[in-house]
Each structure stands twice: as C-alpha cells, then as structure tokens.
Amino acid sequence: MTTLLRAFVGPRAPRGALRAAPGRFLAPTALLLLAGACLLLSLLLPLWSMKLLAPQYPRGLTVTAYADRLTGDVDEIDGLNHYIGMRPLNDAAQLERAVAAPSIVLMAALCVAAALVHTRWAALLAFPALSFPFVFLADLAYWLRDSGQNLDPTAPLSRSIKPFVPPVLGEGLVGQFKTIAWVESGWLLQLLAAVFIVVGLYLHRRAYKPLVDARPAPEEAHAAA
C-alpha cells in the first residue's frame, strides 16, 4: 500500500538538484497552488452575466451568475418571463448550483494535491480545475437552450414569442429585449487558473519526468528490497 502510494506520489527532488535549480522544481508547485487559490477566489466573484435591454428599461435588466447563485433583477426577469411561459431562472441548474461550492473547494484541493504528486497522475488531479470554466459555460448554454426551448405553449405571448436560444456569449434578441451575455471577473480568474495549470503541468513534467524515468519500476524496486 505504502509502495503504491509512493509510486503515485512520485519522487522528491534530490537536495542537490533542488539547490542547483530551485526554480525548476518550485515553479510548477507555485503555479498549481496559485491555480487552486484563483479557483477558490472565483467562488466570491461573478462568473457570467446577461444584460437585457428594452425601451421600457433604459438602464437595462441584469442577471449575474455566481458559481452557486443568481443575483440581479431575477424577480423582474421572472416576472417578464411568465408572459412568454419561461420557467423561473432559479428552476434551472439547481443541482449544479447546489454542488458548486463544495466542488470548487474540492477542485482547488486537487490542485494542491497535484502540486505534491510528482507523477503523471498530477495531470489527472488538475484536470477538473482545468476544465471547469469550459464545463461551466457548456452547462449554462445547455440550460439557456433548455429554458428557451421549453416554453409553456399556453402562455399569453406564445403567439408572439416563439421558442428561442439565448446565446451564452454575445448578443441575442428575445421579443423587444436585446440580450448581451458575457463572462465576468470570476470566470476570467478561472481561465487564469486553467492557464496556470497548463503551464504548471508542462514545467511539472520538465522537472519530474526525468526523476520518474530514472527510478526503477515498482516491481524492480520491490524485488530489490
């Protein structure tokens, strides 16, 4: 068991090599830890927002998505959506919002683990964090499509407003409303985390692959012991 764990965790940098080139070994660790920190911080920041513009709303209406909640003019937008038979915004992605916070904490923890694991498993550990911003947008696009396509056919404005798909990024048109959707600071931070992970993993491979390759295979090591 210990052996398996040791094989999973991989070798530590030899003291001499560490002293000779500290950057080589510390850079990947730092980047992966930084990625975890960015991810954690993104919990507090908005990830995405949509602005709805219509003549009756000169300042527009805004809905802002955080990882675990929606803020802004949700009630007003829901109030308008009932005319076209769209479900309340908070009906969508309930599971995702419920698990978002613990998941992000977990993904950040996995980034920390990736910094400590010096084998190729590190890539697997960092992968959820790497993919999260893209998964988030894909999921959002799914729910936007689902909400826009499944309108109550008996709604008052069902003859005027046909099912639609609001674009997850960029401009769209629903009734007299122009929609403008774009990512927010939290999502950009997650993207930055993803960049850190990609660069970190590259440097990680450069630092530790030679060490892993230099070690005997677990079976041999076992036999030698």
Please check whether residue 206 is in contact with residue 127, taking contact to mean a CB–CB distance below 8 angstroms: no
Kind plus residue range of the DSSP H or E element containing 190: helix 185-214
* CA-closest candidate to residue 39, choices 190, 202, 163: 190
Site string for other proteins, 142-181 (x = CB under 8 A): --------------xx------------------------
Residue 63 binds to other proteins (criterion: CB under 8 A): no
Residue 136 tokens, joined: 């988030």
Residues in 40-59 at the binding interface with other proteins, rule: CB under 8 A: 57
Report the residue number, 73 or 207, with the smaller CB distance to other proteins.
73
Instruction: Confirm or reject binding of residue 76 to other proteins (CB under 8 A).
Output: yes
14 lies in the site for other proteins, by CB under 8 A: no
62 binds other proteins (CB under 8 A): no
Listed ranges 70-78, 87-95, 187-195, 199-207: which one lies at the site for other proteins (CB under 8 A): 70-78
CB crowding 31-59: b at 16 or more within 10 Å, else e: bbbbbbbbbbbbbeebbbbbbbbeeebee
| Cα(97)–Cα(103) distance, integer angstroms | 10
Task: Name the CA dihedral angle for 119, 124, 125, 130, rounded to a multiple of 10 degrees.
Answer: 130
Choose between 23 and 156: whose C-beta lies nearer to other proteins. Answer: 156
CA distance 45 to 54: 27
Which residue in the set 34, 83, 88, 119 belongs to the binding site for other proteins (CB under 8 A)? 83
Indicate which single residue of 42, 66, 70, 73 sits in contact with other proteins (rule: CB under 8 A): 73
Element (H, E) at 139: helix 121-149
CB of 153 to other proteins, least distance (A): 17
Identify which of 154, 171, 174, 172 has the alpha carbon closest to the alpha carbon of residue 163: 174
**Residue number, 106 or 155, with CB nearest to other proteins:** 155
- Give the C-alpha separation, 94 to 62, whole Å: 20
Stretch that binds other proteins, among 29-37, 75-83, 110-118, 215-223 (CB under 8 A): 75-83
Nearer to other proteins, 75 or 91 (CB): 75
Is 90 one of the binding residues for other proteins (CB under 8 A)? no
* Site for other proteins, rule CB under 8 A: 57, 73, 75-76, 79, 83, 156-157
